[in-house]
Amino acid sequence: MWQGKTKAITFSFDDGVEQDIRLIEMFDRYGLKGTFNLNSGSFGMQITLTVKGVEVPHHRFAADKIRAIYQNHEVAAHTLTHPGLYDLSDEELIRETEEDRKNLEKLCGRDVVGMAYPFGDCDDRIARVLRAHTGVQYARTVRDNGAFHRQKDLLQFDPTVHATDFDRIEELWQAFCRLPKEQEAIFYIWGHSYEFDAVGWQPMEDFCREIAGRDDIFYGTNAQVLLGQ
Ligand SMILES: [Zn+2]
């Protein structure tokens, strides 16, 4: 239960790029909360990505912007430099994670307890190392499960759905609304804000408006929803 409510909705967005500002304005307008997963070793990096055939900017914020931009939301780790994790030794994995987490704590002046795996790379070894040797208390994969249940292994937390799968999101929202009142359920949506530049922002805006302001739903950050923090 979250503040007496049995249903929770939470968002998770990766990389810390300029399009996060537009998304955060949207979240703030509708009273929604999100978690933003940042690579503190790559602040300020600017490249262009091709998403579904469309070129979009992937411009990361400079370090001194982070605290103010994300003040109403959660900041979580995404490793220092966004490497593929399967190839890293245990020591490298710990360093990439812990240095990022601690940098973000210092920069934002608050605890950082979450993580999203770069490229979604996660297996049992990676999760075991993080659990034993880092301050990470939950970590998200990219294995969309289309489900709302509480998950036992928070170091391999599977999201419900990807943020630009708009048709699927709408279907899942209808299913979420039909769940029995007393059943605990988490609707977890993840993605990258730059993807909306390629596929359009309007469906996301419509969805945020649709889910907002319900008495029976708790709108929280990942940490609030998964850890009760
Ligand atoms: Zn990423």
Residue 169 CA, ligand 1 centroid: distance in Å: 21
**pTM exceeding the 0.75 threshold for the entire prediction:** yes
* Number of CB atoms found within 10 A of residue 55's CB: 11
Question: What's residue 3's pLDDT?
Answer: 95
Tokens of 211: 């889910």
Q: 17-28 in b/e burial notation, b at 16+ Cβ within 10 A?
A: bbbbeebbebbe
Query: Can you tell me the distance from the alpha carbon of 129 to that of 55, in angstroms, rounded to the nearest whole number?
Result: 37
Tokens of 159: 């999201």
Residue 117 CA, ligand 1 centroid: distance in Å: 7
Residue 15 CA, ligand 1 centroid: distance in Å: 5
Q: What is the DSSP letter of 17?
A: B
Residue 43 CA, ligand 1 centroid: distance in Å: 13
Q: What is the DSSP letter of 157?
A: B
Residue 207 CA, ligand 1 centroid: distance in Å: 23
Residue 127 CA, ligand 1 centroid: distance in Å: 17
Question: What's residue 177's pLDDT?
Answer: 97
Residue 82 CA, ligand 1 centroid: distance in Å: 6
Give the helix/strand (H/E) hosting 38.
strand 34-38
Question: What's residue 229's pLDDT?
Answer: 75
Domains within the chain, CATH numbers bracketed: 7-227 (3.20.20.370)
Residue 103 CA, ligand 1 centroid: distance in Å: 17
Q: What is the 3-state composition of the chain as percent helix, strand, coil, each rounded to the nearest 5?
A: 40, 25, 40
Q: Which amino acid is at 54?
A: V
* Sequential pLDDT tens for the chain (229 residues): 999 999 999 999 999 999 999 999 999 999 999 999 999 999 999 999 999 999 999 999 999 999 999 999 999 999 999 999 999 999 999 999 999 999 999 999 999 999 999 999 999 999 999 999 999 999 999 999 999 999 999 999 999 999 999 999 999 999 999 999 999 999 999 999 999 999 999 999 999 999 999 999 999 999 999 999 7
Residue 144 φ/ψ region, left for φ over 0, alpha for ψ in the -120 to 50 degree band, beta for the rest? beta
Residues 6+ apart with CB under 8 A from 222: 10, 12, 35, 74, 76, 114, 138, 140, 188
Query: Can you tell me the distance from the alpha carbon of 228 to that of 210, in angstroms, rounded to the nearest whole number?
Result: 25
Tokens of 23: 């998304």
